[in-house]
Amino acid sequence: LNKALGADPVIVRMISSSCLSVFVPLLIVCCCFSSSADAYNNGVGLNPALGWNTWCTLSDCHNGDNQYFDRCNEWEVREIAEAMLTNGMYDLGYRYINLDDCWASMERDSLGNIQPDPTRFPSGMKAMADYLHSKGLKFGLYTSMGSSTCNSGGRPSKIPGSFGHYQADAMTFAQWGMDYVKVDWCGGDLIDPEKQHTEMSNALNATGRPIWLELCRGYSYDPIPPYVAKVAQSWRATGDHQDEWSNSKTVIEAFMNPSNKAVPHAWNYGDFLMTGGPGCDVNKTEHCPRQSDDEYRTTFSVWSIASSPLIVATDIRNLTSIMRECLLNKEAIFINQDYKSAAGELVGETKTGPCATSTDGGSPTCPVFGRKLSDGTYAAVLLNMGDTQSANVTLSYSWLGIPASKALSVRNVLKQKELGSFTGYFTALLDPHESVFIRLSE
């Protein structure tokens, strides 16, 4: 079965049962959720959100000196919407068009109301929302819990945050027709995240409009406090995700054993997908990737199996081959959206050869994520997080609660290729930072 995984240099092998002692089981995956009274249902968030955000589309967003950092405008949004409707993303369930810290005016109006930047959104936010809704899409924006936001988005002054205006801003957002609000933790007056996040959540609910609330920061990531699931539909599992492997690895590690379990209406979020790379310059559609295609596959695979919201922050007007392979993969999206089954987590690890040593942060070098899906099939992601050597990484069926005598058909999800029938376990030879996303069935 050499190169059975397609274009990637991966070799699938059977190994003797005597070798299984070097693999460490961590948990047995079940297909059902434990009951969660804390999951917060305000009418949205049954599935993880699928969509796009402005953050890295118009620039290389890792370069703080880039004059186009964190910008957006209504013409870009209209073009992105048309792209989502025609490039296959809409057909797979992508709906959210979200603005980051780039849309608001540098000052509130004479009545103290938040308002859009008139040069970037001259038609206004309600007109923008009406347009997107007419296309069957949803609209989201960003604010901060403090007195100012985190970035000026190329403007000469700070942008007002929502502190002191939670109720008023929530009502304004609802009147505009917003479907999603991301709240950051910048500016002054950052006092009590649980109290302030709860106040914003209550303010949004008081409008009567179902609005997805995403919590960005302010709380501990390790452990994540239980309150987040009581007030929001998603919360960041760790810090910002950037288009760098060292950073992607940190987010992957946060998904291994999250302190808050993802359930319907309450989802662990790995931050933006950087698939394909950020933009290179304003009003152009080129991509300037900082990760390899293998690294993009790995991050997308983990986000998918962990049921993280999939919000891509790169330019979908120009889908590169790796973007199409990942973002338009119907089977991966099905796994990600399967709210009737528990989200994927770390189920085991290989601890032999190059996999014997842990990463710098103490996490497994060769982890395996897994889950049982609601249709009775199973999904797994096998990873080589090491930096220098290829490694044989094995999934033992016992980690998924499958008898060792069971033979299952194995399929490569991203390559859409059948790999054959395997009994008891499955092994793949993976290069550094490479992974394989598989689905197993009878």
Q: Which residues are catalytic?
A: 184, 240
Sign of CA dihedral 287, 183, 45, 232: positive
SS3 331: helix
22 Cβ contact partners less than 8 Å away, ≥ 6 residues apart: 350, 351, 352
- Count CA atoms closer than 13 A to 229's CA, side-chain side: 19
Contact 144, 186 (CB under 8 A): yes
> Which residue type occupies 374?
S
Nearest to 219 by CA among 185, 253, 257: 185
Whole-angstrom distance, CA of residue 388 vs CA of residue 318? 32
Find how far residue 229's CA is from the centre of its chain: 17
Torsion, Cα 348 352 355 356, to 10 degrees, reads: 100
Buried/exposed 393-429: b ≥16 CB within 10 Å, e otherwise: bbbbbbbbebeeeeebebbbbbbeeebeebebbbbbb
Measured CA to CA in angstroms, residue 432 lies from 118, 202, 212, 385, 418 at distances of 48, 46, 37, 6, 23
Distance CA 174, CA 207 (A): 6
Which of helix, strand or coil describes residue 269? Answer: strand
φ and ψ of 382, to 5 deg: -100, 130
Angle between helix axes 293-305 and 330-337 (nearest 10 degrees) is: 30
Q: Using alpha carbons, select from 426, 421, 308, 318 the residue that is nearest to residue 47.
A: 308
Distance CA 198, CA 79 (A): 35
Residue whose tokens read 């497994």: 364
Q: What gap in Å lies between CA 227 and CA 242, rounded to an integer?
A: 26
DSSP state of 225: P
